[in-house]
Structure 1
Amino acid sequence: MTGTHETPGPGRNVATLRKARDMSQVKLAREAGVSVSLLSKIEVGDRALSQGVAAALARAMHVTLGEVLGKAHVEQDQEANLKYLRSTIRRFDLPGEAPANPEFLSHDLDALADLRGDAKLAEVLEKTPALLEKTTNYAHATGSPSAWAMVADVYSTVYWLAARHRWMDLAELAVLKQQLAADRADPLVSAIASRDEAGTFLNSGDFAGGLAIVDRAIVRAESSLEGEARAFGLGQLHLRGLTLAGRMGDSAEAERHTVAAWRVAEQFPEDVKSHGLHFGPENTTNHLIATSVDLEDHRKALATMDGLGRRRLNLPATRVGPLHMNVARAKLALGDRDGALESLKDAWDIAPQMAKVHPTSRELMRVLISLHKRSNPTLTKLAKQAGVSL
């Protein structure tokens, strides 16, 4: 394939950022704590850049993790929606007129959660600003905890949307407002807000800081939540802790959160949904696969996926799409290029809008294009969907 060395992706960004700072590969590798061989392979497209390594490289170059991973651009037809969203967030404490039909808000919130679950990023951006405005105005008018919980839930979706595009200023602003709303709601909503706050640390590469947020929130949840809400809230926090530990390369910390997550997951015969999030045995297994890949235990990841794949998954596209990306990472690391390509195709089939902007998807495609020395119809089709020239 021609022109593969120009294929955009996080690994390609590393070379661009390094050269702009007049750093040699030897110097960057030394300061980031990685081998020169690994760095060289990442830059030329022979190895996929993990987010854990990306965070180390970002720190060594004194840039943000977002600069390494690459910020997703705003489509021209979405600019007005994004501007509307930012304006609504800014007016959090300046409520307007309460909605004439507040009884429709719960239905609208469920519909937005479904769009999020289906990984329909464009549709989420289109629907979120107006719903955020309505729920905020309604919460100010009534002051009820349930109304503020709705506001917090919309802000959780704002965080999710911003994190997917790596609009980190918006993500951090969203979780700040989310926590303010959650403080007026209930302890479960506060636990979810802390989960999302830890997510901003994850997205910025500050994994230790994110774990500190998680541990603090776990202490609060253990003392303030009861019953199924307690299990659900703790489960969300432990899964976030699991991901953070995996990105940090701390297998002992990952095991601690794994054991705790399974302990509460056993209270659910199947995954349940609350406040737009899922928790239960399937989502716990999903996180274990991702963390196994982050810890470079690729055979364990594939064995776990094999067990999970024997039954029909009930997880939403926003979870299943990245699951297949992580399986593709494991297969690629083990030298199975064709298997990695098939798993990447599965991710695109299930969640195309997410796959188009996700840094893992873009990095996998960059490396597969670089490694494939012959024409491949599947890869050609995926590259076309991603807007990548071969």
Structure 2
Amino acid sequence: MSVIAGGGVGRRIAYYRSVMRPKMTQQQLADAACIALGTIRKIERGERGVTDATLEAIAAALDIEPGRLRADRLAAQSRVREALPALSAVLATYDIPDDGPVRPVHELRAAVAEAVRWRVGAQYTRIAHNVPDLLSELARAYSAAPAALRGELAELLVMAYRSADAVAFKFGALDLSARLIELMRWAVSEVGDPLLAASVAYVRTETFFAARAHRAGLRALELAIDAVSAPATTPEVAARGALHMRAAVIAGRACDASAAVTHLDEARDLADQVPEGIYRGTAFGPDSVRTHEVSVAVSLGDQHVSRALKVAGEWKPPMDLPAERRSGFYIELARAQLWSGLADDAFESLKVARHIAPQHTREHPWVREDAATLRRLKRADVESLTNFAEWCTAI
């Protein structure tokens, strides 16, 4: 078990505890993390080191990614990459799982719900550390379950595979991501839930993004939209709206402005009918559509970029929007600002994205490209730009 020196880590723990809303006392942190108060005090004073398990417990209590507390911020990145072979091994045996314990279905459902929260919160280290074992357990449960329970367990597999895919895709393991999406498509066929199938179609778009097969991806999404029945309930409205939202972005990447605008308008109309929320694992609602307005504008480029700046001038993502989506908004806004000659604003947007979801920001290819460009263009504040570029491995 590795032990992390306590000095810098302790100061960061004290900082994040102090900026909680409301501010968290040392006693409250100790209670939430199930750690002795004296231990918390010594860690914050730098008088003792912190094990990985203790650090993760403290990070969970503070509701932040453990990597934000580490002295070596790249350690979290390394831990995610080191977990990918274990994830591959689990997928290789999805239909012949090893022996082991299986929790009751209600406990498995709670564990999957937690993995979904990690995904939308861009907490990739937690996913990499915990989800491979969860997938093994779900595979055991599914293989041994009576027919009456298999549909429910297949649904849990879909959601857990999606959390694992977030790590694989964001960290560039595209073959692994494609394998996870195929397993999602297999599992959803066992569920018989058209709305969950729509969410899988939403995720499948990643394979088209990765292959730059944007027109094919748009066709796949339009077929998925046609397969969703006319929306009558809130979940049906959200499922159809999320597909239109995704179709708008990939249409933009395909340089099909007409299709992008049409799908975005459809998504906006549907979003006005439902509250912002997580539906079958996908965030959808008025705020999510607003973030996608920026994404579509950046995807289309040229004269459309001004639309991204206009949206950002009138609106900012609220705190209750998932961290991954909020950070994505600022990453895409930074690109629009950079293209518009607003280098200082672009750098500020990248820093905001980093504060919201550091792992998501560091692994985003646009961040590395734009950080490198900013460093070449600017001469003022070179040190800060260089530090940022080093952090996201742009240099």
Identify the match of residue 82 of structure 1 among 74, 81, 84.
Answer: 84
What is the match of residue 135 of structure 2? 132
**1:288-327 maps to which residues of 2 (within 5 A)?**
288-296=293-301, 297-309=304-316, 312-327=318-333
Identify the match of residue 185 of structure 2 among 179, 184, 189.
Answer: 179
Change (3 A) 1:359 1:76: closer
Change (3 A) 1:273 1:386: same
Change (3 A) 1:277 1:349: same
1:182 Cα offset (Å): 0.5
Distance 1:167 1:80 in 2: 12
Structure 2: tracts of 5 or more residues without a match: 1-73
**1:222 aligned counterpart, secondary structure:** coil
Identify the match of residue 159 of structure 2 among 153, 156, 172.
Answer: 153
Note if 1:141 corresponds to 2:141: no
Note if 1:103 corresponds to 2:98: no
**1:1-390 maps to which residues of 2 (within 5 A)?**
76-78=78-80, 80-97=82-99, 99-142=102-145, 143=147, 144=149, 145-185=151-191, 186-222=193-229, 226-268=232-274, 270-296=275-301, 297-309=304-316, 312-387=318-393, 389=395
TM-score, normalized by length of structure 2? 0.75
Distance 2:179 2:134 in 1: 17
1:388 Cα offset (Å): 5.0
What is the match of residue 28 of structure 2? none
Residue by residue over 1:258-282, the C-alpha shift from the partner in whole angstroms, topping out at 9 and shown as x without a partner, is: 12111221111x3111333210000
Tell whether the 8 Å contact from 2:138 to 2:156 is kept in structure 1 after alignment. yes
1:141 Cα offset (Å): 2.7
1:347 Cα offset (Å): 0.9
**1:381 aligned counterpart, secondary structure:** helix
- 1:202 partner letter: F
Change (3 A) 1:140 1:236: farther
Change (3 A) 1:76 1:343: closer
- 1:131 partner letter: L
1:322 Cα offset (Å): 1.3
Tell whether the 8 Å contact from 1:207 to 1:245 is kept in structure 2 after alignment. yes
Residue by residue over 1:279-312, the C-alpha shift from the partner in whole angstroms, topping out at 9 and shown as x without a partner, is: 0000011011111112121221111122222x73
Change (3 A) 1:87 1:74: farther
- 2:321 partner letter: L
Distance 1:314 1:306 in 2: 20
Distance 2:292 2:344 in 1: 24
TM-score, normalized by length of structure 1? 0.76
- 1:277 partner letter: T
Distance 1:108 1:170 in 2: 22
Distance 1:76 1:164 in 2: 14
Distance 2:81 2:170 in 1: 16
